[in-house]
Amino acid sequence: MDKQVISQLAREIYSAEKSCQPMETITARYPDLTNEEAYQIQLAGMNMRIADGHILVGKKIGLTSKAMQAAMGVYEPDYGYITDRMMVLEGEPISLGNVIAPKVEAEIAFVLKEGLIGPSVTLPQVLKATAGIMPAFEIIDTRMKDWNIKIQDSIADAASIGRIVLSGALVPVENLDLRYMGLVLEKNGEVVATAAGAAVLGHPANAVVWLANKLAQYGIALNAGEIIMSGSLTAACPVAAGDNMRATFDGLGTVGVRFVK
């Protein structure tokens, strides 16, 4: 795929995001699109946003559960970037007019105090480099029609990121075993899912390990101060106007978000 096509597809995704009007799935037009080409589209889109004044604040990891990987026919996670304009303050409602087809994922967000550079980053190094963790929601969204996507579509679309909601509490990781950290996810006061941290690659920090080592092949590091979204503990939950979502993490705290028209 030549650079002109990559740039055009990145521009289409960015335009669909700004207009909140879904576009035709990329793999429907380019069925032989590779993951590497999809990441090139993602990078081009990121550079377009930076040129428009977006500020990079972190990175996200997707497809961290075996069930989601099997559903997409892949054997490793994917990743995307986070900009300041994707961040939503807890308590601030999310208007469905500003997204296309949102779904909610409850995640543990890592905030780094030290940089990490692969390719041989380990779990203890990730924990040492972490200033703290926070309960978080990722509102995933797709710029492709009807969520009828393949892994390459998701990668090109910055791993289907929409919005990020963080709680107000930054909790040190010392003395926490994230494998056994329980989660209760509620929608309008009713429990819709429960899980434990081990649902994310056996340990949420393993997702950060994977990302640091994966990015090393592109010469990209995880930087001090960045927010790293480690991946959903449960299946994504669709939402509609009027819905209130709340996630409670044992020993970590809660995060909430509501949706309006």
Q: What residues does each domain of the chain span?
A: 3-260
According to the model, what pLDDT value does residue 183 have? Answer: 98
Superfamily of domain 3-260: Fumarylacetoacetase-like, C-terminal domain (3.90.850.10)
According to the model, what pLDDT value does residue 70 have? Answer: 77
According to the model, what pLDDT value does residue 68 have? Answer: 75
According to the model, what pLDDT value does residue 21 have? Answer: 97
Question: Going edge to edge, which strands form the sheet with 253-260?
Answer: 94-95, 253-260, 244-249, 182-187, 190-196
Alpha carbon of residue 156 to chain centroid: 13
| Residues of the chain falling short of pLDDT 50 | none
According to the model, what pLDDT value does residue 69 have? Answer: 79
pTM for the predicted model, two decimal places: 0.96
According to the model, what pLDDT value does residue 76 have? Answer: 87
Tens digits of residue pLDDT in 10-38: 999 999 999 999 999 999 999 999 999 99
Q: Of how many residues is the chain composed?
A: 261
* Phi, psi values for residue 78, rounded to 5°: -125, 180
